[in-house]
Amino acid sequence: MTTSSPATRLGSWRGFLRVHASLIRDLGAELEASEGMTISAFDVLVQLAEAPKQRLRMAELADAVLLTPSGLTRLVDRLVGEGLVERIKCEDDGRSTYAAMTREGRRRFRAASRRHVAGVRTRFVDQLTPAEHDALDALWARLLPQWKAR
Partner DNA sequence: CCATATTGCTTGTGCACGCAACTATTGGGG
Partner DNA sequence: CCCCAATAGTTGCGTGCACAAGCAATATGG
Q: Binding residues for a second copy, per CB under 8 A?
A: 1-4, 6, 8-23, 25, 42-43, 46-47, 49-50, 65-66, 113, 116-117, 120, 123-125, 127-128, 132-133, 135-137, 139-144, 147, 149-150
How many whole angstroms separate alpha carbon 50 and alpha carbon 27? 21
Question: Between residue 89 and residue 148, which ones bind DNA under the rule CB under 7 A?
Answer: 90, 93-97
- Contacts of residue 68, Cβ cutoff 8 Å, sequence gap at least 6: 62
Count CB-CB contacts under 10 A for residue 105: 24
Closest CB to DNA among residues 77, 134: 77
- The amino acid at residue 37 is M
Residue 20 binding target from DNA, a second copy, none, CB below 5 to 8 Å by type:
a second copy
Partner from a second copy, DNA, none contacting 78, C-beta within 5 to 8 A by type? DNA
22: contact with DNA by CB under 7 A:
no
DSSP letter string over 8-51? G--HHHHHHHHHHHHHHHHHHHHHHHHHS--HHHHHHHHHHHHS
CB 81 within 8 A of CB 70: no
Residue with smaller CB distance to DNA, 10 or 58: 58
List residues near DNA by CB under 7 A: 29, 38, 40, 57-59, 62, 66-78, 87, 90, 93-97
